[in-house]
């Protein structure tokens, strides 16, 4: 990795304070940053109003679905219990 003189000085000073090699320090910092970025990518951000609507919908009783009920009552072709 190419860094300018100031960046190298800062990174080495920080690595020294932690008692780590420069490579170990940079790798740990980069990994931590990457984990944060990935975690943010997995989150869904919604407004408080949208979240309240979502919770309200979760609490509603399910709608009757005759097709689903019919299939739920059928014997499974994968059943191993006789």
Q: Whole-angstrom Cα distance, residue 12 to residue 25?
A: 9
Q: What is the pLDDT of residues 24-63, one digit of tens each?
A: 999 999 999 999 999 999 988 899 999 999 999 999 998 8
CA proximity to 15, closest of 27, 5, 3: 27
- Residue 81 — very low, low, confident or very high, per pLDDT cuts 50/70/90? low
What's the confidence (pLDDT) of residue 1? 86
Query: Residues of the chain with pLDDT > 70: what percent?
Result: 96
Helix (H), strand (E) at residue 44: none
The whole model's pTM is what? 0.54
Q: Where are the domains of the chain?
A: 5-63
């Amino acid at each position: 990795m190419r860094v300018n003189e100031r960046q190298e000085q800062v990174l080495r000073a920080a690595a020294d304070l932690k008692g780590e090699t420069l490579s170990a320090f940079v790798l740990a910092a980069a990994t931590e940053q990457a984990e944060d970025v990935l975690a943010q990518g997995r989150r869904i951000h919604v407004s408080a109003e949208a979240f309240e609507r979502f919770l309200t919908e979760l609490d509603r009783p399910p709608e009757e679905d005759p097709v689903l009920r019919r299939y739920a009552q059928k014997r499974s072709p994968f059943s191993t219990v006789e």
